[in-house]
Structure 1
Amino acid sequence: MTRNKQIRAVLLAALMVFSVFAGTVALSGTAAAAATNVTGTASGDTVLVNATLAGTEDNATAYVDTNGNGNFDAGEPNTVNSSLGTATELNESVDVSGVAGGTYTVGVVTNVDDASESDDQGASVTIDDGESPELISAVHYEQPGGQAVLELSFSEEVVDTNTIQLYQDESPVSATYTQNNKGQVVAQTSSLLTGDLEVNLEDVEDTDGNSVTGLDGDENATVTVATVTVDGDAGTIGTTDAYQGETVAVTNDTLDVSVSIESDDSQDDNEGFFRSGSTGATSAVYTFDTTDRETERYNVSFGGSVVEKVQVRDLGLDVTVDDLNITDEESIEGTASSNAGERIIEVNVLDDDGDEEFSTGEVELDGQGEYDFDINVTAEDIDTGDYTVEVVDKGSGVSVESDTVTISEAADGSADFATSVVTDQRGDVFAIPVSLDNTDIATVTIGTEEQGYLANVTVEDGDSDGEVILLWDSSESTNNNVDTVFDVDDSDDDILTTGDDATDITNNTSDLIDSGDYDLEVRTGRSAGDADNVATLVIEEAGVQTVQTWTAAGSASFKDLDDVNAALEDSELTQDDQIAFGDKVIVQIVAPGLEGFTGAQDDETPNFFATSNGYDDSYRLTINQTNPGPNRDPKILNVSDASVVADGDNDTYFVVFNTDEIDAVRDSDDDGVYDSNDPAATLEDDDAFNVEFKLVGEDDVSSNLALVEDNVTMMDSYEHIEGEHDTDADPINVTNAENQTVSGTSNVAPGTELTVRIKSDGDTQPRFLKTATVVVSENNTFSTDFDFSEQNLGDTFLVTVSGGEADEVEADGNVVEAVETTEETTEETTEETTEETTEETTEETTEETTEETTEATTTAAEETTESQTPGFGVVVALVALVAAALLAVRRD
């Protein structure tokens, strides 16, 4: 380093040290002055602020902290003294004429706008504005974070907020009230409350003991419920939906913020609405009532900036009443609906003066936006007269009324039975038809005390069609649970279980009810009295009428009775005792008395194999092998794995299973009953089975629910066979023409779909492939036609038949020349041959006819092709001549 560079480095270092030192001196300055002993005294519209100063202040500002944040803010009442000199005492008067009454803190700020500014708070001072506190607003809403609150905005500070009481529909709501700011009282609620909200402020006063004004005679005030909230600090401008009539709350939890709402001018034909205001000095929420607004979009500005858009939509609240003219023994029925589902509504009945006669209270629309109401006029003690049905949306307050409903006095009604004798079997579900005239309610009595069974059932004709079909489950005669024993056939009708003389079972039986005749009585209405009409209930013995085995294709589906009936009509379900292994077995059981046990009413798939219903005790189905082979235990099928389709009206049950899918065991204990502990067995071709259905007699059942006195049994049988297809000919000869038939037989179940494929083979050119789908007919045949018009004489092919529970079968085929065989000759020969009774005569007649016809028409066959028979060409003719010669030798 040179000497000059060394000197420059030393000077630079010295300069840096000097700069740092100079900065340190400048920052140290004079210690900031501070005011002490700050006090305040209120007198009328003036507050005198006193403080002790250090005597070195440039200026001092005395102020009243009206926003309570502990600092001096622009806009707060203040007085500035800029001529302090060396004064050590500050005495300044602050004008508080615009300040609401309440308790505030006074403060002093010294050296304002100086880096050494000091702000000192002092004592509290209570300002009396000389006026009573006023409730400016009461709003219930959800804050942007989701917390539901009640905000009460007063004109000044109030005390005794713990005496405030909120009511929802006149019921008190518990809450704790906190005065967050002077005049702003807030309470949290567990959820957003709807309905009529009121707040009682009877004991709330200001700091001078003045009571709150602006209340009703009971010291109550109505609370505005805002069901939609717009976040003033949302950041991203979005769109919030509000239904016309709802109140929207705009808030960011800050007091005294300016708010404006105006129509969004980006949409056509807007209403040009504009409104501006603020939350208020003691409120953090602004409300926007959409009741009179158009269904359009509005911009919401908060603190001068657009924060959200509100789209006002039509709620579409509506109410319809099914019948506007009813009697005082009927119900007001109808539907409330809206464009929004799951909203809370209230359905009210109003008299012609608009007074509420009845209310459902709060109910909820379903997900489709509907609620069906049914208001029983008698039960709700609604008099005759004119009424309307009012529906109120609790969230928005929107309401609609129906047309006038006229309730008149009911004429004398009557009830009767549609038939004088009701007959069914013991254990079945009895359908008892009741006719009603000028009434929707009737009471049916079944049995008497002397007959050992007595029940009273009150029914209601819900659709006013004049009929109720009462269902009585005789298999539940030991039960006294009304819902278990009784039902109605039409879901519009009902069984009444409340009110005077409603449904009850006085006498139930200890065992299943006996067969025999029982009294039936019916009377109008609910009340006891003489019967309008009588009938007889005839309980016949249960029994087993038939058991039959049927079969269907293994791929067939039988989910319900419609499937079964369709298969019967299409001949795809047929009776059979030889069933291809893999096809379905259908056991048809006709057994009156099982309807109640199995739950087979209305053609439902029943709980046929439920032991709780009596299976394996009161009734039993067994399928046992009859050809187990030497030294082998027979196989027993686990029939409980089968599905069941019921035709309850006809006492018929179809037990359905696939032969290769049902489980089986070996009957090692020789009891003839399936036991899962027995060794498992595999079902095979050639297995033969006995099918037995039994109703178990009283001596053999373990319960008290025997359907018959003695065992009743019906049986049938079937065996497994190996599925096979076969063609009617091999080889199959066709000619080169349309509609060439390929036919055959199959022992798989009728209705099984087969695929017939014809594929060229050998040296045939061009190659060809033909396929068709056929269905096995009810007589186990199949047939389909193919078009061979594009093929050549001499072409060969292979026919393959596949599908169902059988291996595919093949047959050769040829395309051959046709030989003319006149229809008349064929018919005559066939008739003559048929009349002959011996095989020899038939052969002779056929051979002679063939020979004569061949000789007589050889020339014509070369020219005529309209009535040709496939497969008869020159070679065949030669064979026929040889056959004739042999025949002549045999005759000799």
Structure 2
Amino acid sequence: MRTALAVLLTLVVVIGGVPIAATAQQETASVSFDNQATGGTTVVVDSVTLPDGGFVTIHDASVTEGNVLGSVAGSSAYLEPGTHENVTVSLDDPVAESGTYVAMPHVDSDGDRVYSFVAENGEADGPYTADGGAVIDDATVNASATVSMSDQPTTGDTVVVDRVELSQGGFVTIHDASVTEGAVFESIRGTSSYLEAGVHENVRVELDSPVSENTTLVPMAHMDTDDDQTYTFPESEGETDGPYVADGGAVVDTAAVSVSDTASIDYSEQVTGGYSIVVDSVFLPEGGFVTVHDGTVTEGAVFESIRGTSDYLEPGYYTDVRVELDTPLNETTTVVPMAHVDSDGDETYTFPESEGEADGPYTADGSAVIDSGNATVSASVDYSTKTSDGTTVVVDRVELSQGGFVTIHDASLLGGAVFESVVGTSEYLEPGVHEDVAVTLDEPIRSSQTLVPMAHMDTDGDEAYTFVEGEGDADGPYTADGGAVIDSAHTSVNAVVVASDQSGDGTTVTIDSVTLANGGFVTVHDASVTEGAVFESIRGTSDYLAPGTHENVEITLDAPLEESGTIVPMAHVDSDGDEMYTFDTSEGAADGPYVASTGAVVTTADYTVEGGEMTETTDEMTETTDEMTEEMTAESTDSGSQSNSEAPGFGVVVAVLALLAVAFVAQRRR
């Protein structure tokens, strides 16, 4: 089958009219991709050889039908020349249903370490070829789940599952070891609340049937087969909400749990901006707090050494506990995290105020339960996998000891392009903690890729980022352990819309450029979309646009603009695959907007009707966002008394409004 598929792909690439940038290779590229199960967001390529470096891209089966660009489900980060094994590929289009997928090595033909095959309409980063065809391997990928749980102490009432990934949503159920002996229902100890499709970390599960002795537990991923978000596997005697399966068996892990009444705490040396400390794990059998002391506690400064304390933690085991410091660290030092009891039961830490009479430390073997290690004061950056609209990137958390910036680099940084890799920088950030930092990119990025946020100092004190212009003489990166303080993560870019301010007679609008990973449309809304007029605000929609990038897209408006104002071009998916825009006629059931982590993928532009008056500018329009959000909340509450027949499509309208609200908040930050 694979030989036939390679030949078919050759025909697709040639006849489909998509040019490929493939050159003759001295060595032979190869790829091995085995059948596997996935939780939906990643697949693993067993082995890939890239003589000149590049990427391994995952296509869905539609590539065999000529859908060369739209079939791309995800691509790896840049891989150096050579052979790579067990390559994890993040998918921009998660796997929700089992099917055939195709792994294909691609050249980095433009040398920028960013996979731009789709965004460049096939003119860059084409596939490696051999014997007249693309180099490929195919595999059956089963939409399933993954689950992992570490050995841990427990009070017997709760346990923590490290990570659960569900392709279609569901639950994680804790069984005891008797499940391996056939006690399918009797072995159930507890089940999580409903979990949406996707990745969930540190899932705490309350045990309906507590454990009373050291034992092995078996976390198992379960589906929600009846779509009621209620776990009914035991009550239905297995007819509903059965387990996810992979390789012929249920998706499970095992973990040894030890029932204990002795507290414990673990801390690893780390880099911080000085305003918080993360404790790896803590076990509090009676509940309580984690207090961070500095090293003077070992010299007798019991109260004076306190730098910060966590919120109250219920009895149980916790991982990655972040403690915000009331007294920041201003230099590298030793810190001593300590487990404290909530001795007075008020869930409020009063150890220092009570001069030690309340909420004292847990003890073991006659000593306080502590751990210790260095905290290097510099900066920290946290950035997780997310979807961007191509114009803005949101960094989860930045902590700066002396103020500065967070700069976004693309993957060319890893190839030595220190300055050229900069794609955007935040405004000046004061010393301290900053969450959800929106960074407007200097130029839109049109391809999914690995981005690298980096913490930079303001070395010249002018609150202006001049690292690039000064060729590194000013505003260099924060450093620790001999390297720059960075984080990195895959960033999906499925759609980008760019439109400039323009003027005309009100009958047409020109979109500068639009990139659609899966094809679709660009719809022009007027500013009333911000007031809840999701359908009524539609002025016109483009013809169907194939996957890739389109420039200077002229849209004839069905409802011409009669006066000047703000227009809102929005990228829409062709969700029903008919190449006809039916978002309005289906009342939102089909062809909804492309979505990024910040909301619907939109842009705004001022349109001047020649001879008309400007009614509302882009800046004025964004001021309505908060009001729109309040209206959405009120309407959502009112809709509770309406039947579906009284309010067709209402849920979709509210969802679209929510996406717009978030999108415009993000635009206001630019």
Shorter chain as denominator, the TM-score bin is under 0.3
State TM-score, norm by structure 2: 0.23
Q: Which has the larger radius of gyration?
A: 1
State TM-score, norm by structure 1: 0.19
